[in-house]
Amino acid sequence: KIIMKRLIYIFVLFPYFSFSQISVNSSNLPNIGDTVVVSADYSGTYSPGASGANQNWDFSTANGNPEMLLGFIDPATTPYQATFPNSNLAVKDGLTFFYLNRSVNGVAMMGVVDSGMIFSWEKVMLPAPLNYLDTLIYTNVLGQMDTVLSPPIPSAFLDIPGPYLADSIVITFESINEFIVDGWGQVQMPDSTYDALRIFESLYNSENYLVRLTDTITGLSQWAQPPADMQHEESRYLWR
């Protein structure tokens, strides 16, 4: 059982009532001119409740003041649009600009500019479309590093058995987001009740290796891929 030590709620939905299964598509995504109010309750302990169909998740007692107003703007009105030409949606928070791409497949982060420093950061933030029992997995390449080993080292040092010498390594750094839609129903917030899907999101970081090996007996070379090193970073529940 997962207990949420804090509850962050975002007012982006319009209240309406339905007892049929819910679907989220690109028409439900934020667009230019929209404003999101972010509030947080750090004082209570909240349970995410049950999964399944036609659920009711009651967070009506959440008590938090608005902490942030996120206004979605046209990237053309910002100073760094040329750096992120695929961005068609942006958010400005003080001296920080977030560049996004909005499409029928959801909202994805393109990058961030913080006080003039540019960071490329490709990540799916709000996937679409979403339906009950969907599982969506996105892999984002964060960077790559090539290393030449001179002199070559025995492959046993890299936990690769055999009569091999390793002379090159390519490391790819990835983040993996998994979205599992495990429930639908109504979520009660302090201001109103909303139809929503519940999503269990998990984030993993992964390092994938390619190693060039030379057989010391035959002299032949080949690329080998050891098992990836994957680390679980966090999991959380979302309602959309």
Percentage of the chain modeled with pLDDT above 90: 75
User: Is the predicted pLDDT of residue 184 greater than 80, yes or no?
Assistant: yes
Residue 17: pLDDT band (50, 70, 90) is very low
Q: How confident is the model at residue 20 (pLDDT cuts 50, 70, 90)?
A: low
Mean pLDDT of 138-165: 93
Predicted confidence at residue 6, as pLDDT, reads 38
pLDDT at 10: 40
pLDDT at 193: 95
198 confidence band (pLDDT: 50, 70, 90)? very high
pLDDT of residue 69: 84
pLDDT of 232 higher than 60: yes
> What rounded mean pLDDT belongs to the chain?
89
Residue of 94, 36, 102 whose CA lies nearest to 74:
102
- 228/27 Cα distance (integer angstroms): 37
pLDDT at residue 222 greater than cutoff 90: yes
pLDDT category at 2 given cuts 50, 70, 90 is: very low
Provide mean pLDDT across the span 87-99: 94
Question: Rounded to two decimals, what is the model's pTM?
Answer: 0.81
**pLDDT for res 207:** 95
Query: Does 12 score more than 70 pLDDT?
Result: no
Provide the token pair at 176. 């993996």
CA atoms of 4 and 44, how far apart (whole Å):
9
Which residues, other chains included, contact 212 with Cβ-Cβ below 8 Å and sequence gap of 6+? Answer: 166, 167, 168, 169, 221, 222, 223, 224
Rounded average pLDDT over 93-105 = 95
Model pLDDT, residue 8: 38
User: Who has greater pLDDT, 215 or 12?
Assistant: 215
What is the DSSP code string of the chain?
Answer: ---BSSEEEEE--------S--EE-GGGS--TT-EEEEEEE-S--B-----EEEEEEE-TT----EEEEEEEE-GGGSTTGGG-TT--EEEEETTEEEEEEEETTEEEEEEEEETTEEEEEEEEEEESSEETT-EEEEEEEEEEEEEEEEEEEEGGGGT--SSEEEEEEEEEEEEEEEEEEEEEEEEE-SS-EEEEEEEEEEEEEEEEEEEEEEETTT--EEEE-PPPEEEEEEEEEEE-
Mean pLDDT of 95-120: 95
pLDDT value at residue 1: 35
